[in-house]
Amino acid sequence: MKNNETVVVTGGAGFIGSHLCKYLLEKNYKVICIDNLVTGTLKNLESIKSGDFIFINHDITEYIEIKDNLSIIFHLASPASPVDYLQLPIQTLKVGALGTHNILGLSKSKRAIMLLASTSEVYGDPVEHPQSEEYWGNVNPVGPRGVYDEAKRFAEAMAMAYYRQQGVMTRIARIFNTYGPYMRMRDGRVVPNFIMQCLLGKEITIYGNGSQTRSFCYIDDIVEGLYRLTQCDYPMPVNLGNAQEISILEFANKVKEITRSKGKIVFRPLPEDDPKKRMPDIKKAKTILNWKPRVGLEEGLTKTISWFKNNL
């Protein structure tokens, strides 16, 4: 049955954004995707054939007018990989500040729910483990990662200001490590790095000694969580991620096992301010959203590796 509601996805040509656009179309929303294609790509949207999908090439740090009535705006626009935000530091700060300001203004004028895709990076290199939403973080504002960390922290503060003073229906999702098909192959993050190195028969590079931990959540679960957050009335941040912790060395060996790679693992110096531990406390997501990850690491990695193989 056709849905009369229209939603906007900023950053909709990116990895998470493109999956979200397809998910929303399956729920019969009309979807307006806004992206300036700095880090996103139209290839991620090629499979979309729906007449209810509109793509707008636009930089949201500049004013935009949408004539449609809107029910939800998903604000995902931002460089998200260290490779990107280290090369685009000013653009990263601008989209977190000016872009978020523009989208909040649009949400206010349309009386639409605005979901901010924030990040586990707001916790920095955490001294609390696992990280709950009440933890304020351990962030170096003048370090190389500070442009992304502080852009998202500022965006959260602005969202809460619009909620408290202007009555905008804001939602904040703190997204932890996410993986799946449509990740950029040379994204620079650990999942595509390991998969590409294994598939190409190269050495597998670990930064640090491999004891640092992460938790990896499959894209389908994250998209479901983002949508569920817009269907409740909780305005404070909610962690979305997998609460199963794994060391980087264990993860490298898991990718090697699935790809049957013979590549040697090599160790390189750990980048500045790289978090030693990263895992969400997801009690709030379980309670408020009735959400938890359903796709296990083995299943998710197998699907992801298959996509990478087919798109090399």
Residue positions annotated with a catalytic role: 148
Closest CA to 118 of 70, 151, 93, 73: 151
Residue 86 contacts by C-beta under 8 Å, 6 or more apart in sequence?
A: 144, 147
Interhelix angle for 15-26 vs 219-230, to 10°?
A: 60
Closest CA to 221 of 281, 177, 160, 274: 177
Confirm if 116 and 60 have CB atoms less than 8 A apart: no
Query: In angstroms, rounded to a whole number, what is the distance separating the alpha carbons of residues 82 and 100?
Result: 20
Residue in the structure block whose two tokens are 């997998």: 242
Query: In angstroms, rounded to a whole number, what is the distance separating the alpha carbons of residues 223 and 142?
Result: 32
Residue 83 contacts by C-beta under 8 Å, 6 or more apart in sequence?
A: 186, 187, 188, 189
Confirm if 151 and 116 have CB atoms less than 8 A apart: no
Confirm if 281 and 245 have CB atoms less than 8 A apart: no
- Map residue 93 onto helix, strand or coil: helix
Q: 116: which strand partners?
A: 75, 172
Confirm if 177 and 217 have CB atoms less than 8 A apart: yes
DSSP string, 246-290: EEHHHHHHHHHHHHT--PPEEEEPPPTT--S---B--HHHHHHS-
- Map residue 78 onto helix, strand or coil: coil
